[in-house]
Chain A
Amino acid sequence: MTDVALGWWGVPLALLGGAIRASTPFLFVSLGECLTEKSGRINLGLEGILVMGAMSGYAISYLTGSPWLGVLVAGGVGALLGVLHAVICGLKRVNDIAVGIALMLFGIGLAFFLGKSFIQPAAPMLPSLDLGWWSGIAQVHAALQVNVLFIVGLLLAPAIAWGLRNTRWGLVLRMVGDSADAALAAGYSVNLVRLAATAAGGFLSGIGGSFLSLYYPGSWNERLSSGQGITAVALVIFARWQPMYCVYAALLFGAAGAIGPALQSVGVTSGYYLFNAAPYLLTLLIMAVTCSPKRALVGAPSELTISK
């Protein structure tokens, strides 16, 4: 294996590597939020759940020595926080967005409080698959280190898309999100379905968080997430509530995050911090381009509203 000077070819390769490496949390959180929003409720607390997932996954991996147990516990903690959100939103005169913001602050605060003692020690990391074995170039190797969770996420998206169309759960979920009246008339409990959807969304977000601390960047500290949970919520709108589009959007955002380091590696050092802001600029840009005051968003579940 040799370290070849790739020149400008290194940039697309680094972007590909970035997409594979950094997109997983986006992917899990956006798939989770997609499920929750399909039920007609927005959970803005996913940022808090992401951080809690990162902290609890890291802690469990450190304490038990099993990173996979950490992933599972992170998912469980996320599901519990999702249930908390859903239970509070199930009460009368409660606004899901306000509760989401509260949950975000609560999750982050709780994670900082409980996670203080885990900042220093090193926990066992998640393994990755080396899909670059065929190449002799070091950069290709580095780019094609693929984590198992990334593959799980890639398979999950079509599975969710299929499930929304072809299973009882999927149809009921969409009905609740699109017309609570219709769901009531058919005898389904709107609150119960939303509870399940928010818990499932929380579970996936928790797993997304564990990826942050157990694989990439691969440590627990208080600046770990830097708003990825919130970005992923915006991503769902960009993806028009379609799981497959969530995959593409997550890859795009993962790649955008790698722009700064990639350009630096080829010698473009001016504006490094500006390039690091690329994902956020991208979020703003996409929102500005795809939203219009004249049209309603295509594909939005009709029960989604800020005035409930």
Chain B
Amino acid sequence: MLDPTPPTFGIEAISVTKRFGGFTALDQVSLRVRPGSFHALLGENGAGKSTLVKCIMGYYRADAGEIILGDQQQVIDSPRTAHELGLGMVYQHFTLVPSMTVAENFVLGKTRLPAVLNWREELARLEAFFAAMPFRVPLDVPASGLAAGEKQKAEITKQLYLGRRFLILDEPTSVLTPNEADEMLGLLKRMTRDGRLTVLMITHKLREVMAFADEVSVLRRGRHVGGGRVGEIGPRECAELMLGNAEIRRLTDRGGVPGAPMLEIAGLSADDDRGHPACRGIDVTVRAGEIVGIAGVSGNGQRELVEALDGQRPPSGGTIRVHGKLYHARRDEMHDARFYCLPEEPLRNACVASMSVAENLVMRDFDRPPFAFGGWWLRPSSFRAAAARLVERYRVKTSSLDAPIGTLSGGNVQRCVLARELGGEVAVLVVANPCFGLDMAAVAEIHAQLMEARNRGAAILLVSEDLDELLELSDRIFVMFNGRLVHEAAAATTDRVAIGRHMAGH
């Protein structure tokens, strides 16, 4: 008979090297995760964190180096092998199958799935498992019906249900409220204390590293550049190790006081892709020279709100006024009202990936003077001249103005869109998750640009899942929950705890 709770184990990576073509993603990285520890892996975008854990999980074969599980060397050639050895991973993007129920998703993860399932037995086993958990996830709803926070809980509890003894987490808390994150990480921390689990967590949130991790390792540009026991190494040293000598732009000071109402949203409602109401009766007024933040866990209607504002989704009710005039997100109205937008996933929502950087940069005004005669005869040379100025001013790194914008890195695509939308005179700016997946230097740059636009008198609506970003930039903050605005506070007088509570619907 098998031991019901076999002990956990550590992992050691020794001089792991991984190349993609001519690019070295990992350069002789060594990492030791002691059994029963909570180990954090820190690094900027492109530092090689994901590549390293994918080598451990058997997605990639390392070009050189070895992986040691417990005390023996293992060749892990596929995720299946990794699962059989007791390794599990929670990915940054959800891997629950959306149309299948939570119970089906849990059972599907088993390495040995019986040919015919006995659902009564499987459900009884799931019930017993959740009885011992500090929280539960509804079992009979399709995964697509769960809120983002619940999905992430389901992802993590699924790994525990499957009996993983070594758990790798890739940015696990990006969609959780601060309370949910603490609850989840606290549970995992207790399990490592009991010797049932070892955790390796990829993150860029220093606060979580300091609060939960025992040890930390820092990668930069594919190399292991330092680390140590949390406590002996502090947040400052970690940040320095992550950044190297990269320059971080300081946030411009908040200046001036908000002026007259510029963007007035009254009773705005919109349906989601399935035709169900997603945001309902939204009332917000943004004044000139003001940043109004909208907080909330993703999936509470923010996406539909932003799409209704930027013209991607017809509203099902309510009105939008800019400068007191009704606004329907038509192209001439955008131009006249100087209404700009920085949507999330800019490559998908604000660019044509196969068109050039120059073409994307003039997309707003390409058929107006000075880019065109008479509205139809275009002057490509003027595109390039204007684009060159914007690329210079917003420090976009691109091989040429004619490169397809889809070939640029995420941070540079974001800079391009920012340049296009903020390059002229801006009256209204709607921004959604502008820094998602960007590294610290790019984030600081974008925050500074937004603050400068505010100080120049733009009315900015900032929809974000990042509380720190909202608290840093906003003048006022609303909390969105279940499609409605449920709380309003002045940013100067509120804190993460109060906002976090409303994000969870309390």
Chain A residue nearest in CB terms to B84: A187
- Interface SS of chain B: loop
Known: A166-B117, A166-B119. A186 touches B109 (CB 8 A): yes
The answer, yes or no, to whether A277 is at the interface (CB within 8 Å) is no
Within the assembled complex, what's the spacing in Å between the Cα atoms of A172 and B107? 11
Please name the residue on chain A nearest to B82 by beta carbon: A187
A302 to B115 Cα, complex, angstroms: 25
Residue B33 is within 8 A (CB to CB) of chain A in the complex: no
| Pick from B93, B100, B113: contact of A168, CB under 8 Å | B113
Q: Verify if A264 is at the interface (C-beta below 8 Å from B).
A: no
Contact residues in A for B107 (Cβ distance below 8 Å): 171
Does the CB pair B97–A187 fall under 8 Å? Answer: no
Give residues 117-165 of B contacting A (CB, 8 Å): 117, 119
B115 nearest CB neighbor, chain A only: A168
Chain A nearest CB, measured from B154 CB (Å): 12
The answer to whether the Cβ of A223 comes within 8 Å of any Cβ in the partner chain is no
* B375 lies within 8 A of chain A by Cβ: no
Among B89, B109, B314, the most chain A Cβ lie within 10 Å of the Cβ of: B109
CA distance A125 to B252 in the complex (A): 85
Q: How far is the CA of A175 from the CA of B143 in the complex (A)?
A: 12
A295 to chain B, nearest CB (A): 5
User: Is A298 located at the chain interface by the 8 A CB criterion?
Assistant: yes
Tell me how far the C-beta of B270 lies from the nearest C-beta in chain A, rounded to whole angstroms. 11
Q: Is the CB of B119 within 8 A of A174?
A: no
Q: Which of B98, B108, B117, B274 contacts A186, CB < 8 Å?
A: B108
User: Do B98 and A302 touch across chains, with their CB atoms under 8 A apart?
Assistant: yes
Q: Which of B81, B116, B271 counts the most A-chain CB atoms under 10 A from its CB?
A: B116
Known: A167-B116, A184-B79. A179 touches B98 (CB 8 A): yes
A179 and B105 CA atoms in complex are apart in Å by 11
The answer, among B78, B89, B104, B111, for a CB contact under 8 Å with A171, is B104
**In whole Å, how far is B81's beta carbon from the nearest beta carbon of chain A?**
8
Asked whether, in the complex, the Cβ of A175 is within 8 Å of the Cβ of B100, the reply is yes
Q: Do residues B116 and A182 form an inter-chain contact, with CB atoms below 8 A?
A: no
Contact, CB under 8 Å: B275 / A295: yes
Cβ-defined contact, B108 with A171, below 8 A: yes
Please report which residues of chain A, range 181-200, place their CB below 8 angstroms from some CB of chain B when the two chains form the complex: 181-182, 184-187
Q: Please, which residues of chain A bring their CB within 8 A of the CB of B119? A: 166
Shortest distance from the beta carbon of A289 to any chain B beta carbon, whole Å: 15
**Given A171-B104, A299-B99, does the pair A187, B113 have CB atoms closer than 8 Å?**
no
CB within 8 Å for A294 and B271 given contacts A166-B116, A168-B114: yes
Among B79, B108, B275, point to the contact of A175 (Cβ < 8 A): B108
Find chain B residues with CB under 8 A from A178 CB. Answer: 97-100
Residues of A with C-beta under 8 A to B394: none
Q: Is the CB of A187 within 8 A of B98?
A: no
Say whether B80 faces chain A, with CB atoms less than 8 Å apart: yes
B275 touching A302, Cβ below 8 Å: no
Bound-state Cα–Cα, A172 to B91, Å: 19
A-facing mask of B44-62, CB < 8 A → 1, else 0?
0000000000000000000
Tell me, in angstroms, the Cα distance from A295 to B278 when the chains sit together.
13
Note all chain A residues with C-beta closer than 8 A to B114.
Answer: 168
CA distance A296 to B114 in the complex (A): 33
The answer to whether A301 has its CB under 8 Å from any CB of chain B is: yes
Known: A185-B79, A187-B78, A296-B273. A171 touches B113 (CB 8 A): yes
B95 on interface, CB distance cutoff 8 Å: yes
State in angstroms the CA–CA spacing of A163 and B33 once bound together: 43
Contact residues in A for B440 (Cβ distance below 8 Å):
none
The answer to whether residues A167 and B117 also contact, given A175-B97, A179-B95, A302-B99 and a CB cut-off of 8 A, is yes
Contact in complex: B80, A187 (CB < 8 Å)? yes
B341 within 8 A of A: no
Shortest distance in angstroms between A280's beta carbon and chain B's nearest beta carbon?
28
Closest chain B residue, CB of each to CB of A241: B99
A residues in contact with B100, CB < 8 Å: 171, 174-175, 178
Q: Given the complex, which residues of A lie within 8 Å of B109, measured CB to CB?
A: 186
Are A187 and B116 in contact, with the CB atoms below 8 A?
no
B320 within 8 A of A: no
User: Cβ of A292: which chain B residues have Cβ within 8 Å of it?
Assistant: 275
Contacts of A175 in B (CB 8 A): 97, 100, 108
Does B96 have its Cβ within 8 Å of any Cβ on chain A? yes
With both beta carbons as reference points, the residue of chain A lying nearest to B162 in the complex is identified as A186
Assess whether B97 is in contact with A174, with CB atoms less than 8 Å apart. Answer: yes
Of A169, A172, A187, A295, which contacts B79 at CB under 8 A?
A: A187
Contact A187/B95 with A167-B115, A175-B108, A294-B275 known, Cβ cut-off 8 Å: no
List B contacts of A172 (CB < 8 A).
108, 113
Q: Which B residues are in CB contact (< 8 Å) with A181?
A: 91, 93, 95
A167 partner residues in chain B, CB cutoff 8 A: 115-117
- Closest chain-A Cβ to B314's Cβ sits at a distance in Å of 8
Q: Are the CB atoms of B95 and A182 closer together than 8 Å?
A: yes
A residues within 8 A CB of B116?
Answer: 166-168
Q: Nearest CB to that of A171 among chain B residues?
A: B108
> Of B78, B95, B274, which is in contact with the most chain A CB atoms at under 10 Å from its CB?
B95
Task: Report Cα–Cα, A86/B111, bound state, in Å.
Answer: 26
CA distance A89 to B482 in the complex (A): 41
Bound: A172/B112 CA distance, A: 12
A166-B116, A187-B78 as given contacts; A179 in contact with B97, CB under 8 Å: yes
Contacts of A294 in B (CB 8 A): 271, 275, 314
**Cβ contact within 8 Å between B95 and A295:** no
Residues B61-99 near A (CB distance < 8 A): 78-81, 83, 89, 91, 93, 95-99
C-alpha gap A301/B142 in the complex (Å): 13
**Complex Cα spacing A32 to B117, Å:** 23
> Which residue on chain B has the smallest CB distance to residue A300?
B99
Is A185 a contact partner of B89 (Cβ separation < 8 A)? Answer: yes
Roughly how many angstroms separate A107 CA and B79 CA in the complex, as a whole number? 39
- Set of chain B residues within 8 Å of A184, measured between Cβ atoms: 79
User: Given A184-B79, A185-B89, are A296 and B117 neighbors across the interface (CB < 8 Å)?
Assistant: no
Residues of A within 8 A of B96 (CB): 179, 182
Distance between Cα atoms of A32 and B264 in the complex (Å): 53
**B275 partner residues in chain A, CB cutoff 8 A:** 292, 294-295
Flag if A182 contacts B99 (CB, 8 Å): no
- Among B93, B97, B116, which residue has the most Cβ atoms of chain A within 10 A? B97
On whether the beta carbons of B117 and A171 are closer than 8 Å, the reply is yes
State in angstroms the CA–CA spacing of A172 and B273 once bound together.
26
Report chain B residues within 8 Å CB of A302.
Answer: 98-99
Residue with the highest number of chain B CB atoms closer than 10 Å, among A169, A181, A298, A299: A181
16 CB contacts below 8 A, A to B, read A167-B116, A171-B107, A175-B97, A175-B100, A178-B98, A182-B95, A185-B91, A186-B80, A186-B108, A186-B109, A187-B79, A187-B83, A294-B314, A298-B274, A302-B98, A302-B99
Given contacts A166-B117, A171-B100, A187-B80, 15 further A-B pairs with CB under 8 A are A168-B113, A168-B116, A168-B117, A171-B108, A174-B99, A174-B100, A175-B97, A178-B98, A178-B99, A185-B95, A294-B271, A294-B314, A296-B273, A296-B274, A298-B274
User: Across chains A and B, which 5 residue pairs bring their CB atoms closest together, nearest first?
Assistant: A187-B80, A182-B95, A168-B113, A187-B79, A296-B273
Which A residues are closer than 8 A to B by beta carbons? Answer: 166-169, 171-172, 174-175, 178-179, 181-182, 184-187, 292, 294-296, 298-299, 301-302
